[in-house]
Amino acid sequence: MDEIQKNLLEQVAGLHEMPEGAYNIRANGKSVERSTTAHIDIVTKTDKQGIDIVIKPGTKNESVHIPVVLSQSGLTEMVYNDFYVGDDCDVTIIAGCGIHNSGDADSKHDGIHSFYIGKNSHVKYVEKHYGSGDGKGERIMNPETVVDLGENSFMEMETVQIKGVDSTKRSTSAKLADGAKLIVTEKLMTHGNQTAETSFKVDLDGKGSSANIISRSVARDNSVQLFLSKINGNNRCAGHSECDGIIMDNAKISAVPEITANHLDAELIHEAAIGKIAGDQIIKLMTLGLTEAEAEAQIVNGFLK
Amino acid sequence: MLELQNLSFQVSDDSKGAKEIIRDLNLTFEDHTFIAITGPNGGGKSTLAKLIMGIEQPTSGKILFNGTDITNMSITERAKQGISFAFQQPVRFKGIKVKDLITLAAGNQVKLPNVCDYLSKVGLCARDYINRDVDASLSGGELKRIEIASIIARNTPLSVFDEPEAGIDLWSFNNLIKVFEEMHENSENSLIIISHQERILNIADEIVVLAGGTVQARGRREDILPELLKGTEGCRFYHEA
């Protein structure tokens, strides 16, 4: 891997060197490094681009890194990664995509990640997106996440897209069985003329299932964001979604929540708040000696931390 | 030394035209003094505090701080000159931790044990608070104490407190009195405290009574307080307003 690719890798996966545990690193459309463990296998798909990650039942405290980096301008790819997590596991999965585009052609990574999570398993899934390079070609990422949560399983999903991605359409859908729990935290910042659309569809099918979708976003310059969330309560369940957005400059944010209770004991809540940075927050930090610009940066960084 | 010279502040009121909140006010605050500003609601106390910090700009008049004209300085510049301001209703932030706020207040060189000391001074167990967000999860009283801790951490020559007692429970109030006494005794810094509380007025060196946007009375605590305590009905300072 070259320096640009190494830098992307550090940005999206925090990796300076090869990680411990299982990993698969994909660079410019090819798998360049791979490691498996006694409990986690990674197999290349034969019918399409992508890999199967198979985690044996009972696997605890192990991690899988599957970062993707693109530094070749004009490269477009569509990748399917399927995760089969057995029963009674406790694992961390770190994905992420970095695109460096210094050319004039668009670079695009579309990925579909499907999770099949077994009973009583806990999965922490972290996904970071990052773009760099000063070419006219756009950096485009369209991640799709499909989650099937088994009985009493728990998935924590953290997604972060802070810099450099010109256009993104992120879609996440989940189905939850009895007692399953899903927590999603999304951090998003757009600038320039970027557009970002993020949509969630959660089916709370199981008795006692619960979902909490928390999105925090900042839109600056002329960027445009759309947040869509649909939660269907199909059983005794609890669902909560929250969209908190800060707009700056000429940016626009729309939040379109939808909650549907199809069961008498479904408890569903949606909260959304969009607005500019509160003036008294800036004033407070200025009374501590920060300039207006420093105060603004502090508030935005804190909000997205 | 802080000097307010011929200070006026007007706001436009749609129905009545311009309304004068502060009227041609002249006040001088010497160094190392503890001054309480009191007076009826709507008398201009909070506005005066905001004019000192630069949150509001006077319509006319001058503000001098240690001889420097700060009238046209921004809030940031005044903060750097050594003025601190504690909000009557402290601001909440999503994502800024108590530790971050105190660190910003103290200057970035501060060490964690010092942050904990500042919180202890306002009666908060640091361990329970440093990693909490300064957001809606904190009660009004907790927030107020953190606000006061941030002023202690700044340790500037002049600190202005806008009704520090508002929203504070009785136990905290006793501690608050101690905090102000300590701030006054242990440093050369000056305190200006806007307050309605007798117990705060009772520890001040001087009391200024502000009503109708002007100074109705000013003097040593021993001279002013007994008159105020006769009750607002009989108080000549309030009647003159």
B94 and A303: CB-CB below 8 Å?
yes
- Give CA B109 to chain center in angstroms: 25
**Residue B240: is its pLDDT beyond 80?**
no
- Residue of A218, A284, A296, A305 for testing the chain B interface, max B β-carbons within 10 Å: A284
- Mean pLDDT, residues A46-53 taken together: 94
Q: Can you list the domains of chain B with their CATH numbers?
A: 2-240 (3.40.50.300)
The rounded distance, in Å, linking the Cα atoms of A204 and A108 is 33
Cβ partners under 8 Å of residue A296, min gap 6: A248, A277, A282
Angle between helices B112-121 and B140-154 (to 10 degrees): 120
Give the chain A residue whose CA is nearest to the CA of B84.
A287
- Mean pLDDT, residues B169-189 taken together: 86
H or E, element range at A43? strand A40-44
Percent of chain A predicted with pLDDT > 90: 74
Structure tokens at A80: 């399917």
Shortest distance, CA A184 to any CA of chain B (angstroms): 17
Shortest distance, CA A296 to any CA of chain B (angstroms): 12
- Mean pLDDT, residues A195-200 taken together: 94
The rounded distance, in Å, linking the Cα atoms of B49 and B56 is 9
A289 and B76: CB-CB below 8 Å?
yes
- Mean pLDDT, residues A233-252 taken together: 96
Q: Which residues of B touch A301 (CB under 8 A)?
A: 95
3-state SS track over chain B: CEEEEEEEEEEEECCCEEEEEEEEEEEEECCCCEEEEECCCCCCHHHHHHHHHCCCCCCEEEEEECCEECCCCCHHHHHHHCEEEECCCCCCCCCCEHHHHHHHHHCCCCCHHHHHHHHHHCCCCHHHHCCCECCCCCCHHHHHHHHHHHHHHHCCCEEEEECCCCCCCHHHHHHHHHHHHHHHHCCCCEEEEECCCHHHHCCCCEEEEEECCEEEEEEEHHHHHHHHHCCCCCCHHHHHC
A288 and B100: CB-CB below 8 Å?
no
- Which among B53, B87, B104 has CB closest to A290? B104
Cβ partners under 8 Å of residue B182, min gap 6: B121
Quick check: B53 contacting A, CB < 8 Å? yes
- Per the prediction, chain B carries an average pLDDT of 90
Q: Which residues of A touch B96 (CB under 8 A)?
A: 298-299, 302
Shortest distance, CA A277 to any CA of chain B (angstroms): 10
> B37 falls in which pLDDT band (50, 70, 90)?
very high
Quick check: B100 contacting A, CB < 8 Å? yes
Quick check: B96 contacting A, CB < 8 Å? yes
pLDDT digits (tens, 9 = 90+) for A10-21: 888 777 777 788
Q: Which residues of B touch A292 (CB under 8 A)?
A: 74, 76
> A8 falls in which pLDDT band (50, 70, 90)?
confident
- A71-75, A188-192, A238-242, B227-231: range with lowest mean pLDDT: B227-231
- Residue of B104, B148, B155 for testing the chain A interface, max A β-carbons within 10 Å: B104
Helix (H, G, I), strand (E, B) or coil at A189: strand
- Which among B84, B93, B107 has CB closest to A287? B84
- Residue of A288, A290, A294, A299 for testing the chain B interface, max B β-carbons within 10 Å: A288
Structure tokens at A287: 């009374």
A288 and B150: CB-CB below 8 Å?
yes
Helix (H, G, I), strand (E, B) or coil at A275: strand
Residue A162 vs residue B24, higher pLDDT: B24
pLDDT of residue A143: 92
pLDDT digits (tens, 9 = 90+) for A278-305: 999 999 999 999 999 999 999 999 999 8
Q: Which residues of A touch B108 (CB under 8 A)?
A: none
The rounded distance, in Å, linking the Cα atoms of B237 and B233 is 10
Shortest distance, CA A246 to any CA of chain B (angstroms): 11
Give the chain B residue whose CA is nearest to the CA of A293.
B76
- Mean pLDDT, residues B50-59 taken together: 97
pLDDT of residue A242: 94
Q: Which residues of A touch B107 (CB under 8 A)?
A: 289
- Per the prediction, chain A carries an average pLDDT of 93
Q: Between A and B, how many CB-CB pairs are < 8 A?
A: 55
pLDDT of residue A105: 87
Q: Answer for the pair B57, B36: CB distance below 8 angstroms, yes or no.
A: no
pLDDT of residue B241: 47
Q: Which residues of B touch A216 (CB under 8 A)?
A: 94-95
Q: Which residues of B touch A284 (CB under 8 A)?
A: 87, 90-91
Cβ partners under 8 Å of residue B30, min gap 6: B1, B190
